[in-house]
Chain A
Amino acid sequence: MNNLNIAKIESVDKPVGRKSSKWAATWREYRKSKYLFFMLIPVIAWYAIFHYGPLYGILLAFKDFSPRLGIMGSPWVGLDHFKFLFFQSPDFMRIFRNTVLISCYHIIFGFPAPIILALLLNELRLGWFKRIAQTISYLPHFFSWVVLSGIVIVMLSPSEGPVNFLLQLVGIEPIYFLADTDYFRSTLVGTGIWKEVGFGTIIYLAALSGIDPALYEAAVIDGANRIKQIWYITLPSILPVITILFILSLGGILNAGFDQIFNLYNPAVYEVADIIDTYVYRVGILGAQFGLTTAVGLFKNVIGIALVLSTNYVVKKMGQEGVL
């Protein structure tokens, strides 16, 4: 009924017996949805300024910036910044390596953690206990790395921290987790898991709750034990979710976690902890080397978009819905 009426109303707007150009047709369409368009104007203007505006600044990657001359007036230097970075700079290889390594550690150790926790929570029979455990495990997710780093610094202190106190009880010498280059990356991974493991279970638990219980009943009748049930029913059922999240995490490999590292690192561990983002902040903003660090940022963005597009392509190839 309604559809019929709509069709009639729309037919009134259509040009009747009058030749009209494409422009006129577009104009009419816009007039018809003028309120929608008015709503969109401030938003598009905002995107133009705050998302497309900075794209203009990318020119700096090819210029020798001087604040007096501005972005446009500064002299061109072509690819000099990139040549310096790739062939001469002692820093670039270090920050690139650190970024990729820390990301890989986060993926290798941090990615399976919520899956395992979700599987364990899923096996719990006590409903109220499961709910409370979930609520508690989400908690650290809601605090900033400023707060959490403040806590982590206290917890890992070699002289007062409870972690070293417990290590001492089992006869291990105090470890300088945040100042020892051998331990710093492990500390990043460990504290990263502490913050995100609980929250990461949400999506897996939802996938787990969608598994048909009849599958388990059939498996029990066939004599499958718990491990076999997990291996042959649970894991295959949530495999699509695992795959997508894994591929997405590969796409973000150049984001090694600025907030976390910036609040936990110190000059003693720059060698193993300095990543692209922290370098850009320190050298670019604090050191005012705008041209060079814009080039670093551009390099990161180009690799980043290539990674996202290719991982998205892979996800789609596998028959899953991509993010684009």
Chain B
Amino acid sequence: MKPTTGENIFQAVLIVFITLMCVAMIYPFVHIASISVSSPAEASRFGMHIYPKEVDFTAWKQVLDQKKIWIGFGNSVFRTVVGTFLTLVMMALCAYPLSRKYLPHRNVYTMIILFTMFFGGGIIPTYLLIRSLGLMNSVWVYIVPGLVPTFSMLVLRNFFMSIPAELEESAKIDGANDVRILLSIVLPLSKPVLATLALWSAVGHWNSWFDAMLYITDESKQVLQTFLRNIVITNTDAETLGRSAVANIRYEASIKAATIMFAVLPILVVYPFLQKYFVKGTMIGSLKG
């Protein structure tokens, strides 16, 4: 069917509208990136900033010279890598038994776990528990309390249940036990789901800040998001903002922008390559079993 003139006009209007929406989505990032490499006069100009008119990398130098930024970066990488790995291990350990129909009291265990999705102690009792467990000011507080994300675990369990039972039965006849079946049949078949869940977990770890604010006072154990918060939102990091040196104080806007970009860039770099896994995963998560 040949598109009519009306259809062509409609498509053109639609494209213009969607393009405007896309501009609204990415302009803020462009703006911040541009300010981060602008001279103080240019950075404080009231108006749009699509590209820097006067390039000045002083702010980036000031940010990258801060030891604590790198400490935060290191801790964020640590929690992302180690946390994601341990989460995957624990999720598999939980999802696999729950997906097997012959596990005795399977429904009891499932109910015990499901209940926690709907009712919990709340923030104060959790805080007191973490304190009494001696996890305050320990980097493990980033990883251990969130080790099994229940929703993701259920997604994995549902996927395990969808694997044809025949594959497992034939392995059983060949003498494989449950550990063997999990490692050499179920997990290899689940690679795409595991990749998606790993991405969810990794993004969650990279973006987490509340646990760090609650439980960690030791600066050498803080995560990047906390330093970002101190610099950009609460304005309490006078040192990084250059308030001690007269020469640097004019760079405050650019320093804030550079810090934001420093936290944004790692995600921005991997985003185009991994985006499709996120989308796939959302579809897996929306199918219930």
Contact = CB atoms under 8 A, between A and B. Distances in A.
Contacts of B94: 39-40, 43
Contact of A143 (B22, B122, B207): B207
B271 interface: yes
Contact of A46 (B122, B126, B148, B179): B148
Contact of A160 (B44, B127, B147, B178): B44
B31 A154 contact: yes
A50 B145 contact: yes
Contacts, number: 259
Give the size category of A's interface with B: 35 or more
Per DSSP, chain A at the interface is helix
Given A42-B90, A54-B129, A123 B283 contact: no
B279 A162 contact: no
Contacts of A16: none
Interface string B201-233: 001001111100010000000000100110011
A47 B125 contact: no
B244 interface: no
A54 B120 CA distance: 7
B209 A3 contact: no
A154 B93 contact: no
Interface of B: 3, 10-11, 14-15, 17-19, 21-22, 24-29, 31-32, 35, 44-49, 90, 93-94, 96-98, 100, 102-104, 109, 112-114, 116, 118-129, 133, 144-145, 147-148, 166, 169-170, 172-173, 177-179, 182, 203, 206-210, 214, 225, 228-229, 232-233, 253, 256-257, 259-260, 263-264, 267, 271-272, 275, 278-279, 282-283, 286, 288
9 contacts: A51-B120, A120-B17, A146-B232, A149-B232, A150-B233, A151-B28, A162-B31, A263-B229, A297-B122
Closest 9 CB pairs of A and B: A57-B125, A54-B121, A297-B122, A144-B207, A150-B232, A35-B178, A54-B125, A51-B116, A36-B97
Given A39-B96, A40-B94, 13 more contacts: A29-B104, A32-B102, A44-B109, A46-B144, A50-B145, A54-B121, A57-B129, A129-B15, A146-B228, A202-B283, A285-B124, A297-B124, A323-B288
